[in-house]
Amino acid sequence: ASSFNPEQARVPSALPLPAPPLTKFNIGLCQLSVTSDKKRNISHAKKAIEEAASKGAKLVLLPEIWNSPYSNDSFPVYAEEIDAGGDASPSTAMLSEVSKRLKITIIGGSIPERVGDRLYNTCCVFGSDGELKAKHRKIHLFDIDIPGKITFMESKTLTAGETPTIVDTDVGRIGIGICYDIRFQELAMIYAARGAHLLCYPGAFNMTTGPLHWELLQRARATDNQLYVATCSPARDSGAGYTAWGHSTLVGPFGEVLATTEHEEAIIIAEIDYSILEQRRTSLPLNRQRRGDLYQLVDVQR
């Protein structure tokens, strides 16, 4: 096996899994209904976060585009200047206040972000001190055309992000993706090679690709990389222009579905146990069996 040069399969070499700040904790997945009333969406998300925390969640994950309808017409109207903060970004101001008050980590789903004349689909991560720890702009834009089923072109209004996002938090090292990002296994592999314990994907799969691929992709990313994967979708609104599949889920490092729900509003509380990661990686030592003599994944940023 040493002749396979497994350390060369990841360039730079994969980092060892760091010791997490805690081994076990509860995650809360808040599957929220979204309306055209932005103030209502913000207060509704706030109440859901508070409920999840009251049930023991130390990490709370929100859906993709939870403060706005999911449409190219809505993105420019609901977009916020996140870096300016305060009144320019009421959604993230709420997340900062709640995370600090409840002493929890929040993966803030995603909201439309305005930077000059550009718009991004952006996820903000707030630590238990209320500080913005990371900001992920959706790297892979959702441009698809399935004849007779669904056509959507995010690139009509949104700009693609340029940077993979991994962040150390009070609940471990977390890699962030948004919805369509989950289809690109290279991104998840980079996060795993950077020592991620958990991947979080706020997402809004639709009624065509949701039944086919939503759970499949989550289980694949978790199994391939031997880590936890958590997703959070908006609740389904059949009257909306874009209908979300729902089914927010937590998947374990063996690809096992640990917790999930249907399409209605729901708050899922589930336990994450990082000690299982080493057990799984010892049982299936993929990192020692990769063929660095045959292939490499290059992390350009590192």
Is residue 24 part of the annotated active site? The answer reads no
Residues 217, 180: Cα–Cα separation, whole Å: 10
How far does CA 220 lie from the centroid of its chain?
Answer: 15
Pairwise CA distance, residues 202 & 205, whole Å: 10
Active-site option among 179, 200, 215, 232: 179
Catalytic residue chosen out of the listed positions 38, 58, 133, 138: 138
DSSP β-ladder status, 150-153 and 165-169? unpaired
135 is catalytic: no
- Catalytic residue, chosen from 64, 80, 154, 215, is 64
Strands 228-232 and 249-251 come out as antiparallel
Which long-range contacts link 43-47 to residues 24+ away (Cβ below 8 Å)? 45/91, 45/94, 45/109, 46/94, 46/98
Q: Which among 58, 180, 171 is positioned nearest to 110, based on CA atoms? A: 180
Q: Is 138 annotated in the active site?
A: yes
The residue type of 254 is F
Q: Which run of H or E residues covers position 298?
A: strand 297-298
Residue 53: name the closest of 61, 42, 41, 43 by CA.
61
Q: What is d(CA 264, CA 245) in angstroms, rounded to the nearest whole number?
A: 10
Residues annotated as catalytic (active site), given as ranges:
64, 138, 179
